[in-house]
Structure 1
Amino acid sequence: MFQLDYEVEEQLILRDFLARKDISKTTLTAIKYQGGDILVNGHAQNVRYILRPGDQVTVVFPPEQMSEGLKPELGPLSVLYEDKTILLLDKPAGQSTIPSRNHPSGTLANFVCGKFEEEGILSTAHIVTRLDTDTSGVICVAKNRHIHHLLSKQMNEQLFHRRYTAFAEGHINTPLIRIEQPIDRKEGSIIERKVSAEGQYAKTDVTLLGNYVNDVQAFSVVELKLHTGRTHQIRVHMQWLGHPLVGDDLYGASSHQFARQALHCSSISFLHPLTKERMIFDSPLPSDMKYYLKQSKTVEIRSM
């Protein structure tokens, strides 16, 4: 069972102390009714208890049930880092992050739950950063709903950073482009998105890394930084820019040159939810993107 231990430094009501530790009301409710506990110096106390300097507070989180419809399965996982709170994985292209109607099994979440079950971890797959099926790269998983809450809060506070490497059709000649265009669902589709004034605010920074050409097309290699996390945000913003991702036939590119959208989450950075240490996890370009780059030659970037 997952627990956290704290030392009290000043006189404070237990409820206020827990709030300072970012333990949400939802989590407190789960602790109260689903088998958790709050201990002060080893004894159960209610949230109105007055703490004194030197007291030891232990929060015992209740065991979690696997999410409904998420069947644990044993399968390969490329682990970049793991401790009692987080799991960083390198997802291959072609694997879905969570189950869907088209991919009910074999997803990364299925395999995470299988790993947890095999290791006796009483939790479910809390996916902090989700990637499209055909997008490769780093994914962050929380091992507890409280840890998921802390990492989500970092996202809202712009402390959680994600960087992507992509190939975009055509040549881009501007070193840095900031795209702030709202994104909405496209009419008649449950999958496709579009830039729309009625949509949700979305912000992406695009940094040009180089221009290339091969036997079939000209393309640019770009690094993208997400400031928001809308569905298909990078793909939609690059289409709006006039440079859809190589292989992304859903958003106007041809899939004849590349079998998927050429998009890879190359880096994730955040503060560890407990130690507050800045952590960075990187993933090198996958083999298909490396090969495509190897078959191409650089082109001098024209100044604007």
Structure 2
Amino acid sequence: MSENNEYEKNSLHEMDESEAAEWVVEQAQAGERIDKFLSDLMDQVSRTQIQQWIKDGHARVDGRGVKPNYKLAESQTIVLSIPDPTPMELTAEAIPLEVVYEDSDVIVVNKPRGLVVHPAPGHYSGTLVNALLYHCKDLSGINGVQRPGIVHRIDKDTSGLLMAAKNDQAHSHLAAQLKEHSVTRKYIAIVHGVLHHDNGTIDAPIGRDASDRKLYTVTEKNSKHAVTHFVVLERFDGYTLVELKLETGRTHQIRVHMKFIGHPLVGDPAYGRSKGMTMDGQALHAQVLGFTHPKTGERLEFEAPIPEDMADLLHRLKNV
């Protein structure tokens, strides 16, 4: 998410049993129970489920099985192999969708803030995928039964444009465009503080935060290359309206990068500030989405108007 993220198969929530994730325990995690350590990493998986995985031998410390209450020591190696999920049929749900574009290959929707993109363990209903299954009937199957059609994601509390594929050929074509960075992804955000540069580029690698494994941070350790471009649209008293363009698509990229330069997003529950203007969820909207149509080769670009909650916030800032 990540903001508008490329769908990477090595994500913790997407591994199958043939894959494994590995971590080395750092000093800050020494003395922590293994079930808590793994639970902090996988916030969408219940601790009960993680404890069962440990009991079933899917988590090993320095090559041996342990109990859920096992306390970790610095420099130990944890290897987790997530078992294949129990097959289940997702339910098509009549959740309202704002469809911006649709044909036999692709659908573009304007996702509202608060809507989860796809099901995850313990959360199999009320998602964008459930809504798409009701609306479309035909979605690509490349990402499996829990994520049909999903080529990329935006965070639950980020609103805006997202594309989904209706067949595998379209999915492969769109995913390739994401990988080669030819998809246009522009966001609009309200951030704390006044940016003095009219434009700029944030080129800083992103990885998990060692002090809180649910979060991400700018770090050289176990990180991935991340680039975000910004343009100042309007300045207020203590706040700035910015346009952000993603060159890469790392989890929480915009949120992490803006915090890194000292201008976190207003309303961001994880990376923002507790004082000042706020709203329900981060003030971030995927405003522009452009790509080459997978069948016709035509270049398409769509724009979604700023949502009402962000518009209200801007009105307050202009009238302070």
TM-score, reference length from structure 2: 0.67
CA contact (8 A) 1:246 1:254 kept: no
Alignment of 1:252 with 2:272, yes or no, is: yes
Q: Let me know the Cα RMSD of the aligned residues.
A: 2.0
Task: Evaluate the alpha carbon distance shift between residue 278 and residue 292 of structure 1 in structure 2; reply closer, same or farther with a 3 A threshold.
Answer: same
| Paired position in structure 1 for 2:230 | 206
Tell me how far apart the structure 2 counterparts of residues 70 and 243 of structure 1 sit (CA, whole Å). 40
CA contact (8 A) 2:139 2:165 kept: no
Alignment of 1:274 with 2:274, yes or no, is: no
CA contact (8 A) 1:204 1:225 kept: yes
For residue 123 of structure 1, report the CA deviation from its aligned partner: 4.6
Q: Which of these two proteins has the greater Rg computed from alpha carbons?
A: 1
| Paired position in structure 2 for 1:50 | none
CA contact (8 A) 1:181 1:201 kept: yes
| Paired position in structure 2 for 1:138 | 161
Tell me how far apart the structure 1 counterparts of residues 149 and 211 of structure 2 sit (CA, whole Å). 30
Tell me how far apart the structure 2 counterparts of residues 205 and 122 of structure 1 sit (CA, whole Å). 32
Alignment of 1:120-269 (within 5 A): 121=138, 123-124=140-141, 125-187=148-210, 189-198=212-221, 199-213=223-237, 218-254=238-274, 257-269=278-290
| Paired position in structure 2 for 1:90 | 110
Task: Evaluate the alpha carbon distance shift between residue 240 and residue 85 of structure 1 in structure 2; reply closer, same or farther with a 3 A threshold.
Answer: same
Tell me how far apart the structure 2 counterparts of residues 293 and 229 of structure 1 sit (CA, whole Å). 27
Segments of 5+ residues of structure 1 without an aligned counterpart are 1-66, 300-304
Tell me how far apart the structure 2 counterparts of residues 131 and 103 of structure 1 sit (CA, whole Å). 17
Task: Evaluate the alpha carbon distance shift between residue 286 and residue 246 of structure 1 in structure 2; reply closer, same or farther with a 3 A threshold.
Answer: same
Correspondence for 1:75 among 95, 101, 105: 95
Alignment of 1:15-54 (within 5 A): none
For residue 249 of structure 1, report the CA deviation from its aligned partner: 2.7
AA matched with 2:306 = L
- Give the share of equivalent positions with the same residue, in percent: 40
| Paired position in structure 1 for 2:40 | none
Tell me how far apart the structure 1 counterparts of residues 261 and 136 of structure 2 sit (CA, whole Å). 42
Tell me how far apart the structure 1 counterparts of residues 164 and 88 of structure 2 sit (CA, whole Å). 18
Q: Please say which of residues 257-266 and 184-193 is displaced more in the overlay.
A: 184-193
Q: Please say which of residues 125-134 and 218-227 is displaced more in the overlay.
A: 125-134
For residue 152 of structure 1, report the CA deviation from its aligned partner: 1.1
What SS class does the counterpart of residue 210 from structure 1 fall into?
strand
CA contact (8 A) 1:248 1:254 kept: no
Tell me how far apart the structure 2 counterparts of residues 134 and 186 of structure 1 sit (CA, whole Å). 20
Q: Please say which of residues 71-80 and 134-143 is displaced more in the overlay.
A: 71-80
Tell me how far apart the structure 2 counterparts of residues 181 and 84 of structure 1 sit (CA, whole Å). 39
Tell me how far apart the structure 2 counterparts of residues 71 and 228 of structure 1 sit (CA, whole Å). 33
Q: Please say which of residues 68-77 and 125-134 is displaced more in the overlay.
A: 68-77
For residue 236 of structure 1, report the CA deviation from its aligned partner: 0.3
Tell me how far apart the structure 2 counterparts of residues 151 and 68 of structure 1 sit (CA, whole Å). 27
Task: Evaluate the alpha carbon distance shift between residue 122 and residue 186 of structure 1 in structure 2; reply closer, same or farther with a 3 A threshold.
Answer: closer
For residue 129 of structure 1, report the CA deviation from its aligned partner: 2.5
Tell me how far apart the structure 2 counterparts of residues 186 and 284 of structure 1 sit (CA, whole Å). 33
1:225-255 per-residue CA deviation (whole Å, 9 max, x = no partner) reads 0000100000000000100000113113227
Tell me how far apart the structure 2 counterparts of residues 168 and 100 of structure 1 sit (CA, whole Å). 30
For residue 176 of structure 1, report the CA deviation from its aligned partner: 0.9
What SS class does the counterpart of residue 110 from structure 1 fall into?
helix
Q: Please say which of residues 285-294 and 108-117 is displaced more in the overlay.
A: 108-117
